[in-house]
Amino acid sequence: MRIRTSDIKYNIEAGFFAAMNMLDKRVEFRYFPFTSMKIGETPIYFVGERNQAFQEIIINGSVKDRKFVAYFVYGNEVVGFVTVGYQNLHLYIWEAMKLLIMPPAS
């Protein structure tokens, strides 16, 4: 059965992963969707699946000053996050998730 999402990057990564597995090549599939936008002068970066289920939100920083990170937690695992007001912080957290070195949410 064909499955195609609206996320083009995901489709490309999934196709590559499927092709490498058909060729018996060992490849890891660690794609985390990434969305960026700017509201006024405030950069906002979201990393995680759209419509991802979560049970808790942990906010680190100052919402009032519009400079914070919100982590979306399911069980004991961080499943996504949004950075607001930071320029490159999302890249470090995103890489930690890809390398599976993200600490547990507890």
Per-residue pLDDT of 6-51, as tens digits, reads 777 777 777 887 888 889 887 776 677 788 889 888 899 998 887 7
**Of 29, 37, 36, whose CA–CA distance to 13 is shortest?**
29
Q: Mean pLDDT lowest for which of 3-12, 51-60, 89-98?
A: 3-12
Q: Which of 59, 94, 54 is nearest to 75 (CA)?
A: 54
Furthest CA-CA distance within the chain = 52
Domain ranges of the chain: 1-31, 33-106
Q: In the CATH hierarchy, which fold is given to the domain comprising 33-106?
A: Enolase-like; domain 1 (3.30.390)
pLDDT attached to residue 41:
87
- Select from 74, 70, 32, 69 the least CA-distant residue to 54: 74
3-state helix, strand, coil in the chain (%, to 5): 25, 35, 40
